[in-house]
A and B are shown apart, each in its own frame.
Chain A
Amino acid sequence: MKEGILITSDGKGDGPNQVAICDHCRGPLGLQGKTVACKENLFCCQGCATVFKLLGKLDLSQYYLLKEEGAPVGETDQFQQNYSYLNNQEIKDQYTQIKEGRRFVQFYIEGIHCIACLWLMERLPEVMPQVLQSHLIFDQKVLSLWLDKDCPLSEVAHLLHQFGYRPKIIESLDEGKKYKKKENKVHLTRLAVAGFCAGNIMLMAISHYAGVMGFWRHYFNWASLLLFLPILFYASIPFFKNSYYDIKKGHFSLDIPIVFALTLGSGLSIYHVITKNPLIYFDTLSIFVFLILASRYYLMRVQEYAEQLNNQANPLIQNEIVTLVGDQKKEVIIQSLLPGDQFYFMKGHTLAIEGHIVAGQAYIDNSFMTGESRPLFMEEGEILHSGCRNLTKDIIVEVDRPFDQSQIHHFYQKLKGDWLSENYYLGKSEKISTLILAAVGIVSIAALIFHLFNGTLGLGLNSILALLVITCPCVIGLGTPLILNFAMTNLAKQGIIVKSGNHLRQLGKIQNIVFDKTGTLTHGRPLLKKWVGEQTEDVLQAVYSLETLSSHPYARVMVQYIEKRGDIRLNDVQSFHEKLGIGVQGMIDGNLWSIEKDTESVESVVCIKKNGVLLAQLFFADIQKESALELITWLKSQGKKVFLLTGDKEKCALEIGKSCGFKEDEIFAEMMPQEKAWKIGELSPAIMIGDGMNDSLALSQAEIGIAFNGGIDLNKKAADIFMQESQLSGLKELFSVAHQTNSLTLRNIGIGLVYNMIAIPLAITGGIDPLKAAIIMPVISLFILASTFFSFNGNFKGAKR
């Protein structure tokens, strides 16, 4: 705050041997060349001091007792974010709900790290009386607040911001999510009931195997019948429901044979209990139901987790808030703008409409739409496409076409259509287990008819039940989801989110892999490639001093480059002048320095001149990531075919492509988004790996789309797999896991097939009675599950080293 005194970094310390640390963030002092002192406390920056004082004022200093040593604090940035848009009626209607006079709102809180954050968040009602209740879900970083109906949302957000967090309003649960949540709960209850009943039935079944006869046998039979009823009429409801819908729609699913076995088994058992026949199968059936329910619940949870990471509360760009030009400076949602409206297009924002610049000049990043890696300098009158990003300065833009006519909107619509038409992919193991079960069904019906005519119905029912039990789909039907779940959770822990197990399985099989260039194989931003000429202290200092004053993207690259080289001093610059789109110049110690773009060169070259004499030339380019060559070579060695598609110029594409290990005929340059999608269609089935907005179409066109986090939100929706980090090594991991998944699945199917081929004839000829089948089936299933678990975990540890 204002009372804070700025002192120099070496001015104050706790002694020669002690490293002074900041009282708020515990970071070393003097890192940015300054220390802020305030009463007896020392801080590394003004932001930390502000938060410290605020917490003290609000009587929340215990925060520091809870904070783990080394845990980072919320970033206290210098940006004064304006949250007043949250008070708009439109926002309130869309994002909040009023229940019993209280307003319910949810924020996604960036910067939640440790218990201290949790404590602080849930202390809000004490600090701000208008907050009636606050509740944080730690994992998801979602803060639910119940507010006084008239409490301005901006004030809450502002308080959170002052603590050093970055709150983002999110839409609270819609109907679909609410329904899913309820389903989840019901499923859990079913699982619990099934587990309880199955456990007790198993205990009673011990008496059977121990050979209890007579009265007590019937007593136990009746008891297990009673316990079986909740399983049949409550826990098994989903099977009955699903198979009803499947039969209605005319496809065959695993649920149908499950229902068949359940009805036949329970009917027969109930009949036997009543007629005092000793053969009952409640134990087999109940454990069967429990295992299937358990595996499905696990699958559901894993998918939910992946979805959560996927949706992590990024507000969509059409909901970005802009300020209208005018006296009132009204703030509106960008999608409500109409043609002719003028608004401020702020630095760092993405445009969701199409329009032209009315006032101002700025560097615009068009790579989302065109893939062009160089930011363009644009000025008054020039046309801005939707999806472009403003890199440098706030400008005023007039709307030509509103959001619902923009190209970005078309992308949305196209992608939406693609999701709707996406077919459910039946995996190999499902196909095989369906086949086996269909065969079992035919065989058992044939056997039933045979025994019916022979007058040996009782014997026939027995062998059919043995057949149904012994060919339990567990072996194949459960093994595969389990493998996929292991793979998906392990990948998710490494920041690779796979939306569904089927994608992982396909990944290992598809041969054609298509890469996008900008942002995927390269860093996606210009870097200093070569420094030709003088690089003396004098030159470095001059460049540093001049370029710190500029906001051009290249300037930042130069500044960073020089900072990395070590100690550097800022010189006084006189008569500094920036020619937008060309470069900067200024006087240092009486010499005229100019750092300007070489307009004649095709490449991005910057010339450094001192008093008109050329001292050095700097070459800028978007260069490839370190591991790109290694990855491409590895993929080729795995027998995959790789391709490079880019919207960039041919020369640039060839240069980068070749240094990454592509052959000339594998590189396709100057492709428009639509052309990319066509190319993918030609190469089908193909995997597309990309990040830019311009890849969205291609990503959704490809059998598997893999998006990098560098891309915008839209891409994550279009993609089937996305990676939170932009490192290429993740891809290698992903492909090897996919490969392992497939080979393990194949192995399980193999074991399952052999087992079934032996078991089916035995069961149908009466060689195995239902009781023995009931023992063999779980033993084999457990064996397969265990071997899957161990080999997969082993492989994973191996892969991670």
Chain B
Amino acid sequence: MNALYIMIPISVLLGSVFIAIFILAAKDDQFEDLTTPAYRILTDDINEIERGNE
């Protein structure tokens, strides 16, 4: 049981880190547009082909 002394604060701390990351992401407008980035990835293939040619 004594391990809980440390484990609970650590787990809460870890969780807080993720919450902080989430808040940063929300501030950065990452949840404003959920579809375009998914499509944008697909266009990367083309960009890569181009780079290969150069």
Chain A interface residues (CB < 8 Å from chain B) = 62, 65-66, 115, 118-119, 122, 136-139, 181, 185, 188-189, 192-193, 196, 200, 204, 216, 219, 223, 227
Residues of A within 8 A of B27 (CB): 185
Q: How many residues does chain B have at the interface if contact means C-beta atoms less than 8 Å apart?
A: 26
Task: Name the distance in Å between A58's Cβ and chain B's nearest Cβ.
Answer: 13
Residues 21-34 of B, flagged 1 when their CB comes within 8 A of A and 0 if not, give 01100110101110
Q: Are A188 and B26 in contact (CB under 8 A)?
A: yes
Residues 20-54 of B, flagged 1 when their CB comes within 8 A of A and 0 if not, give 00110011010111011001101100100110000
Task: Name the distance in Å between A370's Cβ and chain B's nearest Cβ.
Answer: 43
Q: Are A196 and B42 in contact (CB under 8 A)?
A: no
Residues of A within 8 A of B6 (CB): none
Give A308 to B46 CA distance when docked, in angstroms. Answer: 32
Closest to B37 in A: A138
Residues of B within 8 A of A138 (CB): 33, 35-36, 39
Closest to B18 in A: A196
Residues of B within 8 A of A65 (CB): 46, 49
Residues of A within 8 A of B19 (CB): 192-193, 196
Give A122 to B31 CA distance when docked, in angstroms. Answer: 20
Query: What is the count of residue pairs linking A and B with beta-carbon distances less than 8 angstroms?
Result: 58
Closest to A119 in B: B43
Chain B interface residues (CB < 8 Å from chain A) = 1, 4, 8, 11-12, 15-16, 18-19, 22-23, 26-27, 29, 31-33, 35-36, 39-40, 42-43, 46, 49-50
Instruction: Give 17 pairs: A residue, B residue, CB < 8 Å, sorted on A.
Output: A62-B50, A65-B49, A66-B43, A115-B43, A119-B46, A122-B43, A137-B33, A138-B35, A139-B35, A181-B32, A189-B23, A192-B23, A193-B19, A196-B18, A200-B12, A204-B8, A223-B8
Task: Name the distance in Å between B26's Cβ and chain A's nearest Cβ.
Answer: 5
Interface of B is mostly: helix
Residues of B within 8 A of A119 (CB): 43, 46
Closest to A65 in B: B46
Task: Name the distance in Å between B52's Cβ and chain A's nearest Cβ.
Answer: 12
Q: Are B26 and A115 in contact (CB under 8 A)?
A: no
Residues of B within 8 A of A223 (CB): 8, 12
Give A115 to B32 CA distance when docked, in angstroms. Answer: 19
Task: Name the distance in Å between B7's Cβ and chain A's nearest Cβ.
Answer: 11
**A-B pairs with the 6 shortest C-beta distances?**
A138-B36, A119-B43, A62-B46, A115-B39, A137-B33, A196-B19
Q: Which of B4, B11, B31, B36 contacts A188 (CB 8 A)?
A: B31
Residues of A within 8 A of B16 (CB): 196
Give A189 to B42 CA distance when docked, in angstroms. Answer: 30
Residues of A within 8 A of B50 (CB): 62
Q: Are B43 and A118 in contact (CB under 8 A)?
A: yes
Residues of A within 8 A of B42 (CB): 66, 115
Give A227 to B9 CA distance when docked, in angstroms. Answer: 11
Q: Which of A62, A66, A137, A227 contacts B36 (CB 8 A)?
A: A137
18 more contacts with CB within 8 A, not counting A65-B49, A138-B35, A139-B35, are A62-B49, A62-B50, A66-B42, A118-B39, A118-B40, A122-B40, A136-B36, A137-B36, A139-B36, A188-B26, A189-B22, A189-B23, A192-B19, A192-B22, A192-B26, A196-B15, A196-B16, A204-B8
